[in-house]
């Protein structure tokens, strides 16, 4: 599955009829935050855990949100320290499908202008379920 990287979300290419798909790895992992940003309950959205291989997650200095970097770019951050093992060079998050163009625009506004989208591959780790089920599980 292909995705575009931002500070908190990844947009992955999806089947035209199913809308946009996004991979979240920060604040937007929480369904309540996601629904607040969208301004609706997320009816029609589906959620599943997923993994972004070949990337590492990092704290952004002086901020409360994380960022992900491709390992080829991130490895210089580990000079003089121990590098993560190969199996640790991935980012766990949530793949949510079914977003409208307006939803994506609202998420872009939430993200701000300090991010870059990139096309990447994400690997779903389980079957998808309605966002409402994920929200109930997050309790």
At 41, is the secondary structure helix, strand, or coil? coil
Q: Residue 114: what pLDDT?
A: 75
Q: Tell me, rounded to whole angstroms, the distance of Cα 102 from its chain centroid.
A: 18
Q: DSSP string of 71-128?
A: HHHHGGGGTTSPPPPGGGSEEEEEEEEEE-HHHHHHHHHHH-SS----EEE-EE-S--
At 23, is the secondary structure helix, strand, or coil? strand
- Phi, psi (degrees; rounded to nearest 5) at 94: -130, 135
The residue with tokens 């998050």 is: 93
Each residue of 100-112: b (16+ CB within 10 Å) or e? eeebbebbeebbe
Q: Which candidate, 46, 37, 12, 26, places its Cα nearest to that of 108?
A: 37
Q: Residue 9: what pLDDT?
A: 47
Q: Residue 48: what pLDDT?
A: 93
Q: Residue 115: what pLDDT?
A: 74
pLDDT average per 10 residues of sequence, the chain (139 residues): 42 53 89 94 93 85 78 74 76 93 92 76 92 72
pTM: 0.77
């Amino acid at each position: 599955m292909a995705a575009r990287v931002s500070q908190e979300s990844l947009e992955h290419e999806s089947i035209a009829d199913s809308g946009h798909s996004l991979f979240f790895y920060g604040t937007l992992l929480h369904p309540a935050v996601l629904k607040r940003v969208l301004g609706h309950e997320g009816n029609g959205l589906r959620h599943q855990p997923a993994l972004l291989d070949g990337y590492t997650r990092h704290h952004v200095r002086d901020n409360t949100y994380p960022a992900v970097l491709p390992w080829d770019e991130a490895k210089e951050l580990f000079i003089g320290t121990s590098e993560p093992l190969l199996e640790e060079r991935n980012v766990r998050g949530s793949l949510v499908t079914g977003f409208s163009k307006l939803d994506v625009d609202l998420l872009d506004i939430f993200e701000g202008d300090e991010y870059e989208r990139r096309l990447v591959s994400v690997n779903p780790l389980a079957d998808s379920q309605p966002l409402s089920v994920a929200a109930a599980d997050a309790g």
